[in-house]
Copies of this chain bind each other. A is one copy, B any other.
Amino acid sequence: MVKSVIRGIAPHVTVIDVTHHIPPHDVRAGGLALVRAVQYLAPGVVLAVVDPGVGTDRRAVAVEVGDGAGVFVGPDNGLLASAVAMTGGAGRAVSLTNEEFQFPAPGPTFAGRDVFAPAAAHLANGVDLLELGEQIDAVTMLPGLLPITRDEPDGLVAEVLWVDHFGNVQLNVDPEEIAELGERVSLRWGEQRRTARRATTYGDLKPGEIGLVVDSYGLLSIALNVRPASEDLGLRAGDAVTLSEPS
């Protein structure tokens, strides 16, 4: 219905789906998916909705980035923050308060269709951001929740950001953060301690061997060859993993 609303207002627009597989209410996963995708997106309007607070007083916003080259539209709940930061930071921003650019809603619960889709379509038509509502200071928007690593005496404490479709376990670790470690890296989580080998690609790994691979986003992933590492190792998004030299 969101696409049909956009089609009705801005028939020339091409809609590209990034994902429809974010778990319900998981703003963190939505924000991560967006920040992964955003560097590859064609210029235009980005509409994102993961919105457990729909109908409450959380704001609906539109935010320009990169000198107006792109606009993000969505709820002000942290979902957009990391992607906005990665694409040059926020420029002008508005709260979507102008009901002339919204659909009259039968209930308060579907902002995607009634508020965000019309806003995105009008922006794609060239309507100026400031017509869509009251200007706000972007620093008042809720920040994102991307975790950062911590250096501790017994190693680098990382977090599982994401488990992909293949069961690869993406960490919030840039390869440069473990440049001083050798080819073999100790991984510790919960009661588990395992050794991983740094590999260029999944196919380099022997059956059962745990690999640390630079994934398609430039971050380190824990992976097995063809097997889902998340399942075999019992790792899930949000888990802490400590990386160090093997003892």
Contact = CB atoms under 8 A, between A and B. Distances in A.
B105 A216 contact: yes
Contact of A4 (B41, B113, B215): B41
A218 B106 contact: yes
Contacts of A40: 1, 4-5, 113
A58 B17 CA distance: 30
Interface in A108-163: 108-110, 113-114
A14 interface: yes
A24 B108 contact: no
Q: Provide the main secondary structure of the chain A interface.
A: loop
Interface residues of A, number: 47
Interface string A76-108: 000000000000000000000000000001111
Identify which of A58, A202, A204 gathers the most chain B CB atoms within 10 Å of its CB.
A202
B217 A54 contact: no
Contacts of A1: 18, 37, 40-41
A179 interface: no
Given A40-B113, A107-B218, 11 more contacts: A3-B17, A4-B42, A24-B228, A52-B203, A54-B203, A55-B202, A56-B204, A106-B215, A107-B213, A108-B200, A109-B201
